[in-house]
Amino acid sequence: MRPATALAFGALGLGFVLLEWVLPRALNPYYLTILTRIGVAIVAAVSLQLVNGFTGQFSIGHAGFMAVGAYSSAALSVYLGSEWLAALGSALPSWLARALYFPIPLLAGGALAAVAGLLVGIPTLRLRGDYLAIATLGFGEIIRVVILNIDAVGGARGFALNAPSGVDLRFEDLGAIYAVVALSVGVIARLAYSSAGLAFRAVREDETAAESIGVATTRVKVLAFVVSSFFAGVAGALFAHSEGYIHTNSFSFVRSFEIMVFVVLGGLGSITGAVIAATVLTAAPEGLRGLGEFRMILYSLLLIVVMILRPQGLMGSRELSFAPLRARLRGRRAAA
């Protein structure tokens, strides 16, 4: 194993131990909830970054796809999953049963959101710029209102993840949640930073030129949109299962704007930036809670100041990369 790879695995392992065993014992539930929400925000922000930052298509209906993931995974867990989980639990130790079960609603929520993304993406991605933004905003709201009117998932009362059998359907395990976050970020980063993934950025930089060199731009845009919707669905499913109760108000256009702010403030085209912005801006309103009613004024001022000082976003389109570190380690080994 190369030293850099060993280092990366070491850091991941350490992070997992910290999140799984140390923090849950050291922090009270309030901080643990914030950490969970940060995880959800990171997945939502990084998935939107693929469409807005890398492919250059301005979509602002992301919360709609989160809602699809949240509600479909929650319905699956409540109506079917609780029985599967009970059956698994009778044969296996509880932690293993839960570890085997929870990927199912996450993947199902992602898959359904991806289908929704495909259906919305095919007509809207023919539009450009402002028109695309308005269309995605509209579709996001349509999804929310449709869910609001489905009584099987609670309608206006909201939907609690309570199984009739009393099986615990909540999933608050920080280590596992951040494993999902790391996996999602990793998949999107690897798609974006590859030769085939250059098609995304080629579309962003110049659609006409991209077509002229053989990029099927519509298909590339739809692909970005579907992958992005999938991970929005995963984020929604994580949210539903960690909160234990969901309401369509959590997925309004205000939430979509919030995710868009993570992406723009972090820097369009930077996955690192989206992660940082999602983390800071999810924690900031909580950290500012002591200021009472001035809290949201300060939060807004923070956004304005950053946009004045760094209009390209915190990171621009750069990434925090381990490549220089890796090169240095390799150099040292070669010298030895």
Helix extents (H) in the chain: 3-17, 23-26, 29-49, 62-76, 82-91, 94-101, 103-124, 129-148, 174-192, 198-205, 207-212, 217-243, 253-266, 271-287, 295-309, 323-335
Count of residues of this chain found to bind another protein when the rule CB under 8 A is applied:
32
SS3 60: coil
Q: Which is nearer to another protein, 203 or 280 (CB)?
A: 203
Query: Rounded distance, CA 241 to CA 7, Å?
Result: 32
215 binds another protein (CB under 8 A): yes
Q: Which is nearer to another protein, 93 or 103 (CB)?
A: 103
Tell me which residue has tokens 């920080």: 174
Options 64-72, 85-93, 194-202, 287-295: segment touching another protein (CB under 8 A): 194-202
Among 272, 65, 106, 66, which Cα is nearest to 189's?
272
Tell me which residue has tokens 């669905």: 233
Candidate list 211, 244, 245, 284; residue touching another protein; CB under 8 A = 211
Candidate list 111, 113, 199, 237; residue touching another protein; CB under 8 A = 199
108 binds another protein (CB under 8 A): no
The radius of gyration of the chain's CA atoms, rounded to the nearest angstrom, is 21
Q: Which is nearer to another protein, 198 or 329 (CB)?
A: 198
Query: Rounded distance, CA 34 to CA 152, Å?
Result: 29
Candidate list 81, 269, 273, 313; residue touching another protein; CB under 8 A = 269
121 binds another protein (CB under 8 A): no
90 binds another protein (CB under 8 A): no
Binding to another protein in span 124-163, by CB under 8 A: none
197 binds another protein (CB under 8 A): yes
Q: Which residues bind another protein (CB under 8 A)?
A: 186-187, 190-192, 194-202, 204-206, 208-217, 219-220, 223, 269, 317
